[in-house]
Amino acid sequence: MKRTNAVGYTLAVAAVVAAIGSPAMAQQEAAPPRTALKVCADPNALPASNEKQEGFENKIAKVFADSLGLPLEFYWFPQRFKFIRNTLKNENPDGSYKCDLVMSVPEKFDMAATTEPYYRSTWAMVYVKGRGLDDVKAPEDLINLPEERKKKLRIGLYDRGPATDWAFKHGLFDNMVPYQHQTADVSDYPGRIIDQDLVQGKIDLTFEWGPIAGYMSKKIKDAEIVVIPMKSEPGIQFDFTFSMAVRYGEKEWKQQVNELIDQHREDISRIFAEYGVPLLEVEAGKQAASEGDEERRGGDDDDGPAPAAGDGQAGSGEAGTAAQ
């Protein structure tokens, strides 16, 4: 994900603007009351989101809308194509925006203002039970398999991402069956590698962003999917923390979303459990950036891919997209 930081105003200029009244703040104060909770979402990115509103992001958004007493609306756009520019920053002819909230972006995301973190997950090792790998209970077990067994393994790996780096580090790269990280086909979906090739026996094992792996393990009924969470190690990060995102400058709206997160943590945890998402505790001290930091780093350059979680930084929005 490429990002460019906008040059911030100097303190002197900021003081002058504050003294005469910020046009952006004046516009915010004059904004009409919300008539709906408008969420920016991917139409085909389960387990996070889809047009049938079957994803965990859709369910969490519904909890928020009900809490606000507002109808829920989604503005659909594929995360892989300049998502923030085409959704959160995309204006209607009347000056309003297409949508006002992105449900999942990685921490330190710099294309929008991030809320406090609300979940943390990790990549996972995935295989089908009963096909010769049942004694693999942890990543170390895979590394320590006898060479005769290891050399026969077909391991599905994306062309980039932490699992690919891990396999190279631990001498498993020759076992790689390569998969493209992200295709231009908008009908492609997170978890296809598990749903199709792993279950059908084209590969013996793969690695996937945890929320996708957990969801597929619940969805697939004709095979028992084993999901083993990965642990970060020096030089390779598997776990990632996610926040929600609003536009820069919308401080009151950001605070309101933070309050919704705090009020509904039990609901959020219940929804993640329903989807089989492996959750880790959000590290102490993880907080959204201050408004000052946001203004210094915020910008309009949104040439990166979707904020997906499996993106080598994290996976699908998927990710993100945090997708592979």
DSSP 109-130: --SSEE-S--EEEEEEEEEETT
122-229 matches 11-119+240-297 in CATH topology: yes
Residue 59 to residue 49: CA distance in whole angstroms: 9
Domain 11-119+240-297 carries which CATH code? 3.40.190.10
3-state secondary structure of 63: helix
Highest mean pLDDT among 30-44, 265-279, 305-319: 265-279
Largest CA distance in the chain: 75
Question: pLDDT tens, 109-139?
Answer: 999 999 999 999 999 999 999 999 999 999 9
Question: Does residue 177 register a pLDDT over 90?
Answer: yes
Across the strands, what pairs with 39? Answer: 74, 101
The full set of domain ranges for the chain reads: 11-119+240-297, 122-229
Residue 245 is which amino acid? A
Least confident window among 14-28, 68-82, 194-208, 226-240: 14-28
pLDDT of residue 81: 75
More confident residue, 75 or 183: 75
Q: What is the rounded radius of gyration, in angstroms, for the C-alpha atoms of the chain? A: 21
Residue 211, preceding peptide bond in cis (omega within 30° of 0): no
pLDDT of residue 143: 96
pLDDT of residue 311: 46
Which CATH architecture fits 122-229? 3-Layer(aba) Sandwich (3.40)
Question: pLDDT tens, 254-284?
Answer: 999 999 999 999 999 999 999 999 999 987 6
Q: Is 249 left (phi over 0), alpha (psi -120 to 50) or beta?
A: left
pLDDT of residue 13: 30
Mean pLDDT of 6-31: 38
**How confident is the prediction for the chain on average, in pLDDT?**
83
| Four-CA torsion 171, 174, 175, 181, nearest 10 degrees | 100
Residue 183 pLDDT level (bands cut at 50, 70, 90): low
Strands (E), the chain: 37-41, 44-45, 49-50, 72-76, 101-106, 113-114, 119-128, 155-158, 176-179, 205-209, 225-229, 239-246, 279-280
Nearest to 278 by CA among 222, 220, 221, 231: 231
pLDDT of residue 286: 54
Residue 287 pLDDT level (bands cut at 50, 70, 90): low
Nearest to 205 by CA among 219, 225, 222: 225
Number of other residues whose CB lies within 10 A of the CB of residue 19: 8
